[in-house]
Amino acid sequence: MNAAEIADRLLADLAPIDTDAAEALGTEPVSLMPALAPADFAARHEAYLRAERALAQPDDDPTAGVLAALFVATPLGAHHAPQRNMASSPARRKELVAQENSYQQGGIEHIVGGL
């Protein structure tokens, strides 16, 4: 896959749970409310991991490697990047789950505070 195809797939994967991704694809968002369920966070994480893995694959597209490096260097990419050699340990998994839960709680508090 070239970089444009990877980006299109990432948007398609995120569109059901991310209004910005849906709008970027030119489709109606499923809901205007932020998707904050644990399954939504897991879906986002998997979508970003798929995109990063796809960008890391050798391809004839010279931009893919550059995009992969830029993606991981961004705060969003760094958050969703695989935790190499650490994610497999039970302690690291607990740490990652706690981190996701804190993001979810922060999102919920932001929404409730805005009401």
Helices (H), the chain: 3-14, 19-25, 38-56, 63-73, 75-80, 90-113
For residue 16, give every residue at least 6 positions away whose Cβ sits within 8 Å of its Cβ, in sequence order, or none: 22, 30, 35, 43
3-class secondary structure, 104: helix
Please, what is the average pLDDT of the chain?
74
Mean pLDDT of 69-79: 56
Mean pLDDT of 31-53: 90
- Residue 16: per-residue pLDDT: 93
Instruction: Using pLDDT thresholds of 50, 70 and 90, give the confidence band for residue 95.
Output: confident
Instruction: Using pLDDT thresholds of 50, 70 and 90, give the confidence band for residue 32.
Output: confident
